[in-house]
Structure 1
């Protein structure tokens, strides 16, 4: 019995584990595109672009003090986990007039981690509303032009999300007030899109070497 148990542990279990994860890659290897060709931000800020970056896009609104907790949740659970990836960035859209409040927020975030890839883009009300409408999501901005939800945008400016989420069906964004959602859903989805690009890069490199 002991020999059989040892054989199972050494040979059978690793094989089962490999098959499980291999099937997972096939089934969950790509994050669905929900909205294509989101406009870039060049009209708002020439230095910040969605093109060529994996972006976490958010809309903070006018009441920065009220959403600081959301920003800290996002920083701790997502940004610190993925900010070392070269093509990863955070872009938060903020109404003009909040520059001082954002500077304070950046300083506070900087006490917890590097803020190099936190980008804050300022716009007027109509510009922010127009950009948000282009996401074509099933939610609206609040009276402060903000939302607790953030969105994953790929390198080609496509909104990525879930089409068969167990709670929402189609899931466009992730609620930053919920640490559990950031931990259990958003982190997984960011991992998937990063893995997707890494696999594509490996394939391209392999094709070139042939």
Structure 2
């Protein structure tokens, strides 16, 4: 009996543990799709697109001076750790007429890190609302056509998020006013979607 018990402990339990954690990794390795076929940013600016990019999408509004703190939080907590990954970008949609304010913001952000992958796209009210509404979230734009929330868009133009967030249930976006939310939730979700595409790439290469 003792030999059998020792054999179980030494050989069987590690296999069971491995299978348990392996299945957990598989379940954890996908960030849920919440909305499919988000309107592409190319409808506003044909030099930019969501296709084949992992995008953090934001709507700054025309009161950019009041959104600088949000942009700095996002820059430090999310952009800076991940911007060197291939196919990763930030897209900020801004109302036309805000070009000068955007240049000022870019200058300040650029003092902290290379902001090559920060993309600013200018649109009119209808264009901005069309893209925002296509996200189909529980968040609203304010009177300045902005929001403090940002959203993760995958390479197929789908909105990714959480279906079972412990605080709000379905979580469509992340509040850039909250450093804790960026640290504790958004950073994790960005890691998941980046890992998802890395694993898919490795599998495709292995199958060739």
- State if a TM-score over 0.5 links the two structures: yes
Q: Distance in 1 between matches of 2:116 and 2:50?
A: 16
Secondary structure at the residue paired with 1:107? helix
1:41 aligns with 2:29: no
Please give the alpha-carbon distance, in whole angstroms, between the structure 2 residues aligned to 1:56 and 1:161. Answer: 12
Q: Deviations over 1:121-143 (max 9, x none)?
A: 00001111111000000111001
Q: CA deviation at 1:18?
A: 6.1
CA distance in 1, matches of 2:67, 2:16: 45
TM-score (norm 1): 0.89
Partner of 2:59: 59
Distance, in Å, in 2 between the alignment partners of 1:196 and 1:143 is: 36
**Post-superposition offset of 1:168:** 0.5
After TM superposition, give the deviation of residue 22 of structure 1 in Å: 3.0
What does residue 188 of structure 2 align with?
188
Q: In the superposition, relative to structure 1, how do residues 104 and 17 fare at CA in structure 2: closer, same or farther (>3 Å)?
A: farther
Aligned-partner Cα distance in 2 for 1:17–1:148? 42
Residue 26 of structure 1: aligned partner: 26
Superposition TM-score, scaled by structure 2 size: 0.90
**Match in the other structure for 1:148:** 148
Q: Does 1:132 align with 2:126?
A: no
Distance of 2:96 and 2:20 partners within structure 1: 49
Structure 1 partner of 2:119: 119
Q: Once the 2 structures are TM-superposed, how far is the Cα of residue 42 of structure 1 from its aligned partner?
A: 1.7
Unaligned runs of 5+ in 2: 1-13
CA gap 1:21/1:177 in 2 versus in 1, 3 angstroms: farther
Aligned partners of 1:20, 1:61: CA distance in 2, in Å?
46
| SS of 2:157 mapped into structure 1 | coil
SS at match of 2:41: coil
